[in-house]
Structure 1
Amino acid sequence: MKVLVVGGAGYIGSQMVKQLTHAGDSVVVLDNLSTGFRELARYCELVVGDLADPLLLERLFRKHDFDGVMHFAAHSLVGESMQDPGKYYRNNVSNTLNLLEAMVRHDVKYFIFSSTAATFGEPEYVPIDEVHSQRPINPYGASKLMVERMLQDFHTAHGLSSVSLRYFNACGADPEGEIGECHDPETHLIPLILQAASGRRKSITVFGRDYPTEDGTCIRDYIHIEDLCSAHAQALEALILGHKQGALAFNLGNGKGYSVQQVIEAVQLVVAEDGCNLMIEEGERRPGDPAKLVADASLAKRELGWQPQYADLETIVRHAWAWEKQRASLVK
């Protein structure tokens, strides 16, 4: 296959590119490098540019005969989306529309969308399946839901088939140590804890220990980026081979969830082998933090044949710790 990966120089996108190229596919990456890194796009042709530029998209689609498109280029900070919603609707919605219209003009029929479980809003029940109501509570989730709706309309009007994949927390690092998280600012729990262990951060704060969970801390669903990318690859293959068509959506996750305390204990176990420890501070609950967010991924397993290979928390932490040690040595 020849695949355009938009946002392929970022954390998830670069791992996707590595997986595709190692499977023998030809990949072109489009990334404006606002949050991506040139050095992560090492397995492919990199086009530095923005979805806001229709002329660039036109040149790109004229030059390459793409079989499909994968889209990872979104703003994704919930708090920022509340403060600057226009930024999120402009990039996540308007720019995606530019991409879809370019696909239609050049008869590219298959689209894989990196969506989010934030489209569901406050959970009515857990684990969350695909029939759960979608009532996003922030502009980030709302922008992703708007794209999912656009994909339904583009299938009806233009025959564009798509799969939207919704998940909560991408985590871990490339098992071979080449790719991992390097966000600025970092907002994800596992890398934050690991930065505290490596000395790049003073401490880690637990926001609330009085939730209605077994140990009192919030429970979240974590999915290794390697497993996340394998789901994207299987979804694209299902579309191209004709096994699936329409505007489909699947939830991804481990189906179990781990508490903040369990993540801390897993990190402590792993980093102790290197003589590192953690400073933990206690904080108040943050407004809007649900006690438990877990995805039901049984439909993706049944329909796509997807099966996570790295669902074990300790394995996830070990891969992320190997990456963090590299990062810590580079910044010292």
Structure 2
Amino acid sequence: MVQSGNVTEFIFLGLSPNPEIQRVCFVLFLFLYMAIILGNSLIVLTVSFSKSLGSPMYFFLSHLSFVEICYSSTTSPKLIVDLLSERKSISLEGCITQTFFFHVFGAIEMFLLTIMAYDRYLAIYRPLHYVTIMNRRICAILVGMAWLGGFLHSIAQIVFVFHLPFCGPNVIDHYFCDVLPLLELACTDTFFIGLLIVANGGSLSMVSFIILLISYSVILFHLRGHSKEERRKALSTCASHVIVVILFFGPCAIIYLRPSTTNSMDKMVAIFYTVITPLLNPFIYSLRNAEVKNSMRKLWFRAMNQGETGRG
């Protein structure tokens, strides 16, 4: 049981105190959230029902898109509802739950991006053994390990704040719950706990990023001996992964790898990795990938033909 002290709920200050800005943000973020659900769901469905997208790369992509839906859904619905609410509150248990799943899906995304980089490394560096190494069983195990790692990471983060006493104040200058804002409200010394939290989250980010950096560096080095057409195709595929990695790890590094101090830009940076990045991922992967676009068209025409047949 969380040691709440006198605090049973927290109050968010939200994005802005201006009612006009809040109404504009409500329309904007409602549209963005619907686009996130639609875009990522389309990728999941396309990969699931297209036989031409049966390779490990698309298997991991479908799981990444599903995680993006879950990741954004931990914060966006609450943000959208609060934009039309005068009192933006969340219970203590709800705050802990939101923090837990926010870190679960964030860590799973990091692991999946790392796995996808390893997949591209094998496909380019060891093409003759790729099919044998990255079979369906191994792919399923890797995804399962990503989910397990995400839960273990989040449990470690939550354990640090689970028994903290919250005696007041209970106002969070943010639009969702996270471990660092909660530490600032605890009525006890949290310096050592803060170091552990930053070490846990920071080490996960740094190790994942280093693995990604090594993988893509090896890929670029190996491509020197390939033909121009082979290099173009490989670089086109890897470019999508690199863009997503930069979009995800860049903002995360700003939040979790700097000293734990209040920063007015934190909310804007958080919007980038909780809303903008999940929105951009489907466009990055689909617009840069001819196979995905062709499969989407085929599914669309198939659905239209079945609809016309049903009406006939």
Scaled to the shorter chain, the TM-score interval is under 0.3
Q: What is the TM-score of this pair, normalised by structure 1?
A: 0.23
More helix by percentage:
2
Choose between structure 1 and 2: higher strand proportion. 1
Higher relative contact order (CA 8 A, sep 6+): 2
